Amino acid sequence: MGEAIWQGALTGLVLATFVGPIFFAVVDLGLQGHIRGAAWLAFGTFVSDIITVLFIYLVARSIDRGSMLLQVMYVAGGSVLLLMGLQNLLKKKQAEDHPDVSRQSARSLLARGFLINSTNPNVFFFWFGAVMSAVSHYQGRSALVLLHFFVALLIVFSTDFLKGYSASLLRPYIRPAILLSLSRISGIILIGFGIKLIFFH
């Protein structure tokens, strides 16, 4: 159980270092003092992540553990993590994408967070690789897999909200070099997960 908690926390922290549309939207709202808006946007992302993780897990769970399809899914998941890691590691700069969300209602912000996250293929690919890695690591034990992702999703939601809350305090330190360093750190971790899932599942 302890391993599922810290492994889940690591998974959540890796995703929390991703810099994309949601990151900049939450930070922009925080800089404008719109903390509730940042919370609603983060909650929309949280709901999207839950649905994505459950969908991928239910699909993986329905496949017989000895089947060739599951083995292919392991390799595919590991390959996705490996490629995403290499992409982060070799990235030269962070592209800033600032959705205009400052004047939207709570309901529309929740929907906006959900849609931005759900339509981002990198998010789906990350969760696909992460779910397949967890299913392999815990030998399909549902309780540990679900605990792993409960912790991971809680970490992602908490850090998304904290990005907005602390944006005004961290504004002088949010530099492209800092974002690039975070991207490369997450890249190294993703490469490690990818290699493990491909060759040691």
Q: What is the pLDDT of residues 80-135, one digit of tens each?
A: 778 878 887 887 765 554 455 555 677 888 888 898 788 777 788 888 888 888 88
Q: Which residue has the tokens 């690789």?
A: 129
Provide the domain count of the chain: 1
pLDDT category of residue 195 using cuts at 50, 70 and 90 = confident
Instruction: Tell me the pTM.
Output: 0.71
pLDDT-above-70 percentage for the chain: 82
Write out the residue range of the structural domain in which residue 19 sits: 2-199
**How many other CB atoms are found less than 10 A from the CB of residue 132?**
25
The more confident residue out of 102 and 40 is 40
Task: Dihedral sign for Cα 65, 70, 72, 74, please.
Answer: negative
Per-residue model confidence (pLDDT) at position 5: 93
As given in the structure block, the two tokens for residue 170 are: 């961290």
pLDDT category of residue 39 using cuts at 50, 70 and 90 = confident
The more confident residue out of 33 and 144 is 144
Residues 165-177, mean pLDDT to the nearest whole number: 66
The more confident residue out of 74 and 130 is 130
Q: Average pLDDT of the chain?
A: 80
Per-residue model confidence (pLDDT) at position 55: 92
Q: At residue 51, does pLDDT exceed 90?
A: yes
Q: In terms of DSSP H, where are the helices of the chain?
A: 2-16, 21-31, 35-61, 68-90, 106-118, 121-137, 142-165, 167-170, 176-199
Per-residue model confidence (pLDDT) at position 50: 94
The more confident residue out of 113 and 180 is 113
